[in-house]
Amino acid sequence: MYDFAYEKPTALAAAVASLAGDMDAKALAGGQTFIPVLKQRLNKPTTVVDLAALGLVGITVTADSVTIGAMTTHGEVALSAAVQKAIPALANLASMIGDWQVRHRGTIGGSLANNDPSACYPSAVLALGATIVTDRRSIAADDYFQGMFTTALEQGEIITKVIFPIPQKAAYQKFRNPASRYAMVGVFVAKTAAGVRVAVTGAAQGGVFRHAAFEAALSANFSPDAIAGIATSADDLNSDIHASAEYRAHLIGVMAKRAVAGT
């Protein structure tokens, strides 16, 4: 690793000031991506700002929403009885992230801030139409994700919580890389009063995206048969040693049908 300064502020304003005042300062949440990046010398921050003492943890459930603090771990989401009851698909998604150790260090805010194209949480946020709340504003899911490792966050902006509307039905299906357990393809399907939203992660070069054709078909007929004949284009999908773009295109349909059947 390179040498860097380390700060662990106890107030959100202090953390924001440290990050906003130094373009090369980086925030540390769970560290499941950031620490390996530092070890491989792929990033050279001047200051690491640890967010662990800011108190951005906890889960609150109301009649129509689930709010999760940004520093809440994947393990806490997965094991929360309140989340399991309100949005079981979200708890199930969290239970499939990495392994036990990763789930007890990684955080929802860190995952969304990083926006890895193979991460699971972006699909839930986009499919459920969640709202990402930061220290300065609220960002709709459709406006938040802007491409691989790219979001609407500005310099020094910190996610404080995520608000998920409770859907009528929802499910997540994931085809995992056997080594990393990242999603080679993950599909989150949510049925709401306003219609159906389908988000795909792990498949596209640009990161998570909504599948408009699936959404239209499922809004008219919410069943696996409704999307059985819809092919997904392999254009702009990832192709690597694990799976070709064409294989990922096929998997999107398979995972989507399984998700609908599992709601």
The secondary structure of residue 32, as a DSSP letter, is T
Q: What is the mean pLDDT of the chain?
A: 95
pLDDT per residue as tens digits for the range 193-208: 889 999 999 999 899 9
Specify the pLDDT at position 74: 98
Tokens of 207: 């990161």
CA distance 238 to 244: 7
Each domain of the chain, given as residue ranges in start order, spans: 1-53, 169-261
Instruction: Indicate if the pLDDT at residue 34 is higher than 80.
Output: yes
What's the rounded mean pLDDT across residues 5-23? 95
* Contact assessment for residue 154 and residue 134, using Cβ atoms and an 8 Å cutoff: no
Output the pLDDT for position 225. Answer: 97
Q: Could you tell me which CATH class the domain 169-261 is placed in? A: alpha beta
Quote helix, strand, coil % in the chain, to nearest 5: 35, 25, 40
User: Which stretches of the chain are assigned E, i.e. beta strand?
Assistant: 5-7, 26-28, 47-50, 59-61, 65-69, 131-134, 138-140, 159-165, 169-176, 183-192, 195-201, 209-210
Predicted structure pTM score:
0.96
CA distances from 133 to 17, 43, 99, 122, 160 (A): 18, 26, 27, 14, 6
d(CA 165, CA 186): 20
Question: In this predicted model, what pLDDT tens digit does every residue of 106-133 receive, in sequence order?
Answer: 999 999 999 999 999 999 999 999 999 9
Answer yes or no: is pLDDT of 235 > 90.
yes
pLDDT in tens, 61-114: 999 999 999 999 999 999 999 999 999 999 999 999 999 999 999 999 999 999
| Predicted local confidence at residue 28, as pLDDT | 95
Residue 43 pLDDT grade (very low, low, confident, very high; cuts 50, 70, 90):
confident
> Which CATH code for domain 1-53?
3.30.43.10
For 51, the 3-state DSSP assignment is: coil
